[in-house]
Amino acid sequence: MPFFKVNENCNGCLACVQNCPAGALNYFDQEDSRKIMHNMSLCARCGHCWRICPQDAIEFKVLLTGRFDLVKTLDLVHCKVCGEPIYTPSFGETVSNDTQRSVEPLCPDHKGSEPVNVWKKLASKRASQ
């Protein structure tokens, strides 16, 4: 589903293209048609085009109401002492595999950081090799 949509109210005035501060809008005229282009990777999600459009033609509400798009949901392991969420099961597996030791589900206050620190040391050692 495209987050940026120009609906049928658009009359091709180009106010959006001319006022986009990020250069995320462009257009080209070809024979009988004007094509308005939007580049999501350049778009700053500022909503300026949406505010400035005299035709209410830009439908950008998804990005305006939700600054962050949900891209992934993961389970969490909780500290077995206090119940604080600490890391994901798959991260715990990675730490276990990389350190060759089982990881106790304990938060930093309950010594849970020790295996993570061991894994971080291993990871940075590997990166420097």
State the minimum distance, in angstroms, from the CB of residue 32 to ligand SF4: 17
Nearer to ligand SF4, 12 or 105 (CB): 12
- Taking the complex as a whole, the smallest distance from the CB of residue 59 to ligand SF4 amounts, in Å, to 10
- Shortest distance in whole angstroms from residue 31 CB to ligand SF4: 19
Look at the block and give the residue holding tokens 């909503």: 47
Burial of 54 (0-12, 13-18, 19+ CB in 10 A): exposed
Q: Which is nearer to ligand SF4, 14 or 116 (CB)?
A: 14
Question: Least distance (Å) from ligand SF4 to the CB of residue 101?
Answer: 48
Residue 88, amino acid:
T
Q: Which residue reads 């778009």 in tokens?
A: 43
Bridge partners of 35? 28
Cβ distance 115 to 95 under 8 Å?
A: yes
- The residue ranges that bind ligand SF4 (CB under 6 A) are 6, 10-16, 20, 22, 24-25, 36, 38, 43-49, 53, 55, 57-58
Nearer to ligand SF4, 3 or 91 (CB): 3
Which tokens belong to 109? 């206050």
